[in-house]
Amino acid sequence: MRNISLLFVIVALVLASCSDYLDVPNPNAVPSDRYFSSEIDVDKAVAGIYHAIRSNDCLGETSDLFSEERSDNTGRLDNQGNAGEPFQFTNFSLLPGNTNLKSHWSALYVAVSRANYVLSYVDNPSIKFTNETNRAIYKSEALFLRALTYFHLVRKWGDVPMVTENLTSYDAIVTHTYRVPQEDVYAQIVADLKAALESEIPNIQTAAGKGRTCKAAINGLLGQVYLTMGELFAASRQENLTNARTYLEVAYGMRSFGQLSEIPYADVFDVAKKNTCPEIIFQIVYKQGDQNYASGVAARNQSIGETINSQKPATGQGTYVNTDLVNDYETNDIRKDFSVKWADHAKAKAWFITKYRDASAAAGINAYGGNDFILMRYADIILMLAEVNERLGNTAEAIGYLDQARTRAGLPPYAAANADAAYHTKYPTLQLAILHERRVELAFENHRLFDLLRIFGSEPQGFVDYMKSKDPADHGISDLNNVTVKDIYFPIPFDEYKLDPEKMYQNPGYN
């Protein structure tokens, strides 16, 4: 079985890095069990995990293919680009042999294996640290990143292979090539995140530490995991939701500001303020002006004839935004004009994304932008607190959190909005109002798919019915008639399934 999956590639070498966690050259040939001889080696190994997360096939800025395009937010007006494989995501016609799907799976497991490498050797007493607290901090980072990666895997595929050790032999790889029940994967994620809190890692990173995790991020992710479990596992629903509220409140309590309205919405995405904006909790760092490590999201999103995002002239339609999302913005919502724009060009008459911008001289005509890709910010935490309190029956608390986002957006409070017949008809329950608010607040930040699955996925037909209730004309050329209960999960990539069709069984609807 020489065609063994990249899923369990043995990471015997850990990538070296510079201090900014971006520039990671090829490793030297050093046996894995003897690689760690100093704190510097551990630092380089942890940098390797962050570098894996940064990959666009993993969680980087173009990973929207695996989330936004799989939701009702964005889509495509071209079904043939790259042999039509990306279109399969937004058209709900995804095939197990899709190479983009396989690349995403493999990239996530590369991050897992690098985290396992660190965790297998970091406690070796022969490794000397300038301060022993640093050992625990590095361990916290590896645990958090492994949990984050498994959280993406389990939500996208359900039962997945789960490895928590560094595999050093072919036999070990074969032994671990099987899918584990998602309940066990969630249990491991929770255990990792709780263990990650047992260090002196900072509550919030300083400007110099941006791109690395912190206790606010760990608590926030743990709250999100429990919130997801609360909807997924009926038997422990109340306990999971209570835990979700507890950890989200801890994360919220670590903020350095009062109300969300104290931070202008545009500041969150301002390249000049990305290291100092108090709303940002955890981000993937990009280097403005650097050919290799700059962000390209601003130029990639921009439509032909436009200059709002980038100095680089666009030749295509940019990232297509479904009219369904545009219509969800309320009148006078400041987030609309900041996030989307209509391209009125002969070759592109459609909405495109303007949320990520860097038309500065530093980015230049080559569009070497400085946008960081935000994985967690306080508006997300606040709206999850609204969601979990609504689910627990704490209506007043839920509305209070919801109104924080609405106030900053220049909108009337929920009570006034709900008194309007049009708003109430569109969002007849507080739960749907919060789901709507998350959509327009967090658009293009890769949350929408998971929000839909969390709210509707516990009853798969609910997700199908919601998607099919949409007007197909508002979703480009995607065919919403393709949506079925199979689309709660991605198919297991064919190369993984064929390794062992029994232990790597395919998800229903993809055989």
pLDDT per residue as tens digits for the range 285-304 = 999 999 999 999 999 999 99
| Amino acid 511: pLDDT | 87
> Smallest Cα–Cα separation from 321: which of 94, 436, 474, 93?
474
Instruction: Label residue 16 by pLDDT band (50, 70, 90).
Output: very low
> Smallest Cα–Cα separation from 161: which of 205, 224, 105, 121?
105
Compute the Cα dihedral for 318, 340, 274, 434 and give only its sign: negative
Pairing mode of beta strands 340-345, 373-377: unpaired
| Amino acid 32: pLDDT | 56
Task: Please say if the pLDDT value at position 31 is more than 90.
Answer: no
Task: Please say if the pLDDT value at position 4 is more than 70.
Answer: no
Tokens representing 340? 């989307």
| Amino acid 85: pLDDT | 96
**DSSP-assigned states of every residue in 225-270:** HHHHHHHH-GGGHHHHHHHHHHHHHHHHHT-SSSSGGGS-GGGGG-
What is the per-residue pLDDT across 107-130, written as a single tens digit (0 to 9) for each? 999 999 999 999 999 999 999 999
Pairing mode of beta strands 280-284, 373-377: antiparallel
Over residues 43-56, the mean pLDDT reads 97
At residue 271, φ and ψ (nearest 5 deg) are: -60, -35
Compute the Cα dihedral for 203, 204, 205, 206 and give only its sign: negative
Question: Fold identical between 1-201+488-511 and 202-285+372-458?
Answer: yes
| Amino acid 333: pLDDT | 98
Pairing mode of beta strands 340-345, 348-353: antiparallel
| Amino acid 34: pLDDT | 59
Burial bucket for residue 1 (CB in 10 Å: 0-12, 13-18, 19+): exposed
| Amino acid 52: pLDDT | 97
Over residues 451-465, the mean pLDDT reads 90
213 near 219, Cβ under 8 Å?
A: no
Interacting residues of 429 by C-beta distance below 8 A, sequence separation 6+: none
Q: How far apart are the C-alpha atoms of 511 and 305, rounded to whole Å? A: 44
Task: Please say if the pLDDT value at position 479 is more than 50.
Answer: yes
Q: How far apart are the C-alpha atoms of 505 and 499, rounded to whole Å? A: 10
| Amino acid 33: pLDDT | 56
Q: How far apart are the C-alpha atoms of 358 and 310, rounded to whole Å? A: 5
| Amino acid 79: pLDDT | 86
Over residues 275-294, the mean pLDDT reads 97
What is the per-residue pLDDT across 386-425, written as a single tens digit (0 to 9) for each? 999 999 999 999 999 999 999 999 999 999 999 999 999 9
| Amino acid 9: pLDDT | 44
Tokens representing 48? 């390797």
201 near 213, Cβ under 8 Å?
A: yes
Instruction: Label residue 14 by pLDDT band (50, 70, 90).
Output: very low
| Amino acid 379: pLDDT | 98
| Amino acid 6: pLDDT | 40
Q: Residue 320 in 3-state DSSP?
A: strand
Over residues 203-219, the mean pLDDT reads 97
Which residues, in sequence order, are bridge partners of residue 75? Answer: 320
Say which CATH topology domain 1-201+488-511 has: 1.25.40
Q: How far apart are the C-alpha atoms of 275 and 195, rounded to whole Å? A: 27
The CATH number fitting domain 202-285+372-458, selected from 1.10.10.10, 1.25.40.390, 3.40.30.10, 2.60.120.10 = 1.25.40.390
Q: How far apart are the C-alpha atoms of 302 and 356, rounded to whole Å? A: 10
What is the per-residue pLDDT across 331-372, written as a single tens digit (0 to 9) for each? 999 999 999 999 999 999 999 999 999 999 999 999 999 999
Residue ranges per domain, the chain?
A: 1-201+488-511, 202-285+372-458, 287-371
Q: Share the mean pLDDT of the chain.
A: 92
Q: Residue 3 in 3-state DSSP?
A: coil
Comparison of pLDDT for 316 and 10, the residue scoring more: 316
Task: Please say if the pLDDT value at position 189 is more than 50.
Answer: yes
Instruction: Label residue 248 by pLDDT band (50, 70, 90).
Output: very high
Q: How far apart are the C-alpha atoms of 447 and 449, rounded to whole Å? A: 6
Task: Please say if the pLDDT value at position 490 is more than 70.
Answer: yes
Q: How far apart are the C-alpha atoms of 405 and 440, rounded to whole Å? A: 10
